[in-house]
Amino acid sequence: MMAWTVHPGAVLSGLALACLIGWGVWRWSRRSEDPPGVLIVKLVLTVVLGGTGIWCGVNLFPLIGIPLAAVCGIVVGLIWGQNIGAAIARPLASLYDGGDEPPEPKPFYAIARAHWKQRRYGEAIQTIEAQLERFPDDPEGLLMLAEIRARSLEDWPGAEEAIDRLVVREDLPVPVRARALEALGDWRLDHGHDAEAARRTFQRTLDLFPGTPEAAEAAQRLAHVGTDAWRRSQGRGRVIAMVKGDERLGLRPEGTSPGAVQEPDPELETESLRQQLVEHPMDGEARERLALLYADRLGRMDWAVAEMETLLSLPNQTAKATARRLHGLADLHVRHDGNEEAARAVLGRIVTGMPGTALAMAAQSRLDHLRLEIRGRQSARTLGQA
């Protein structure tokens, strides 16, 4: 009688193959749309039908065994047809729906916003804090938490604490951290009516992010905190002085015109702007107004150009701000002295200094039509004098 011997390598190979098949079935079952119970039934039927088909094909007469094996195969195909079709279509469908990859977990603040709009501030804060437990120091959540505490509850220590948690995160970009401080300063002015606290907040931006465009913007805000020109510290809007009109406008004889509206004294306005620049030399808005005043009211184009060049030399300007101010300097040359060469040189600084950008393309387009622009200005000036 022959004795059967099994090589240990064959046993290990069989176990490895079984483990591989089991792992593949487990992975596939996790991606299948069928419930676990249905999958188990399908697997059992597949094993039974597969074994039956193999037995019929081997042990029965071919004329009977092969058709029976084919029937078993057809039934197995019907059982797994939907799954096979889904597996074939999945790569194409995943191009549109993302496939079976789970979405990246993100904080969800829609419920908190709904509570906030309904003035349920406590529930809103609890919802945000629950999200922050899952996503610690999330910038959006911290900023919303600070805004609720500042604007709705006027809890300034709590708002500052939330902003501090965001600002100290060095892994965040500087603009995100600086905007958070900027928002806190705005809330201090709009809702807290505390100009001094707003100044401290903007000064903190200057101290934390020196040499950045955000620091330059903070310096601009710092120069106007509490002034009527930018924002009143009591939260009121800008006050527009209403000039009294001519009460006899409809009774005037033909050919007469009402008296001209009295404009502010340019000397007094110039002195006020100069004093502002002495206190805040980084105040770009005041320097730009002074340049326009020199050119439009005092006729000193040389002073206006000098102020605009000083403005352009201020550090940490964004490309957009620089381009806007260069266009303003070109406007002065076009509007006052019609100096095409000087205007072209100014616009050329944008083209050469910011190549390949939309700002350079806009400047080049203006250069192409600059002569027509100057002629149009001169024609309008001639008609006005006539």
- Give me the tens of pLDDT residue by residue for the chain, a chain 386 residues long: 444 555 566 667 667 766 776 676 666 666 666 676 777 777 778 777 777 877 777 777 777 777 877 887 788 778 777 777 777 777 777 766 666 666 788 899 999 999 999 999 999 999 999 999 999 889 999 999 999 999 999 999 999 999 999 999 988 999 999 999 999 999 998 887 888 888 999 999 999 998 888 888 888 888 888 654 444 444 445 556 666 666 666 666 665 555 555 567 788 888 888 888 888 888 888 899 999 999 888 889 999 999 999 989 888 888 999 999 999 999 999 888 788 899 999 999 999 999 999 999 999 999 998 888 888 877 665 555 55
Question: CA separation (Å) from 373 to 328, 334, 339, 379, 382?
Answer: 14, 8, 12, 10, 14
Mark whether 272 and 365 lie in a shared domain: no
**What pLDDT, on the 0 to 100 scale, is given for residue 56?**
76
User: Tokens at residue 87, please?
Assistant: 């597996």
Mark whether 220 and 299 lie in a shared domain: no
Domain span including residue 321 = 317-378
Mark whether 310 and 321 lie in a shared domain: no
Q: Is residue 252 part of a domain?
A: no
User: pTM (2 decimals)?
Assistant: 0.60
Mark whether 212 and 163 lie in a shared domain: yes
Cα 98–110–181 angle (5° rounding)?
105
**What pLDDT, on the 0 to 100 scale, is given for residue 322?**
92
**What pLDDT, on the 0 to 100 scale, is given for residue 255?**
56
What's the rounded Cα separation, in Å, for the pair 363 and 346? 10
Half-sphere exposure for 220 (CA within 13 Å, toward CB): 19
Mark whether 352 and 369 lie in a shared domain: yes
What residue has token string 């805040």? 280
Mark whether 279 and 327 lie in a shared domain: no
Question: CA separation (Å) from 336 to 91, 263, 265, 295, 339?
Answer: 66, 20, 21, 7, 8
Mark whether 305 and 340 lie in a shared domain: no
Query: Are 273 and 283 a contacting pair, CB within 8 Å?
Result: no
**What pLDDT, on the 0 to 100 scale, is given for residue 78?**
81
**What pLDDT, on the 0 to 100 scale, is given for residue 98?**
63
**What pLDDT, on the 0 to 100 scale, is given for residue 84?**
72
**What pLDDT, on the 0 to 100 scale, is given for residue 2?**
46
Which run of H or E residues covers position 230?
none
Please give the tally of structural domains in the chain.
4
Q: Is residue 201 part of a domain?
A: yes
Q: Is residue 8 part of a domain?
A: no
Question: Dihedral, CA atoms, 214, 215, 217, 221, nearest 10 degrees?
Answer: 130
Q: Is residue 235 part of a domain?
A: no
Amino acid of residue 110: A
Q: Is residue 359 part of a domain?
A: yes
Mark whether 216 and 284 lie in a shared domain: no
What's the rounded Cα separation, in Å, for the pair 223 and 331? 26
Q: Is 26 exposed, middle or buried (0-12, 13-18, 19+ CB in 10 A)?
A: exposed
Domain boundary among 224, 245, 276: 224
What's the rounded Cα separation, in Å, for the pair 191 and 10? 80
Q: Is residue 304 part of a domain?
A: yes
Residue 213: give its domain's CATH number.
1.25.40.10
**What pLDDT, on the 0 to 100 scale, is given for residue 232?**
46
Mark whether 304 and 332 lie in a shared domain: no
User: Tokens at residue 243, please?
Assistant: 């000039």
User: Tokens at residue 132, please?
Assistant: 């922050």
Query: Are 195 and 228 a contacting pair, CB within 8 Å?
Result: no
Domain boundary among 52, 80, 108: 80
Domain boundary among 49, 80, 111: 80
Query: Are 346 and 326 a contacting pair, CB within 8 Å?
Result: yes
Q: Is residue 239 part of a domain?
A: no
Q: Is residue 17 part of a domain?
A: no
**What pLDDT, on the 0 to 100 scale, is given for residue 235?**
45
**What pLDDT, on the 0 to 100 scale, is given for residue 327?**
93
Query: Are 50 and 76 a contacting pair, CB within 8 Å?
Result: yes
Greatest extent of the chain over all pairs of C-alpha atoms, in Å? 140
Mark whether 220 and 124 lie in a shared domain: yes
Mark whether 130 and 174 lie in a shared domain: yes
Mark whether 136 and 219 lie in a shared domain: yes
**What pLDDT, on the 0 to 100 scale, is given for residue 29?**
63
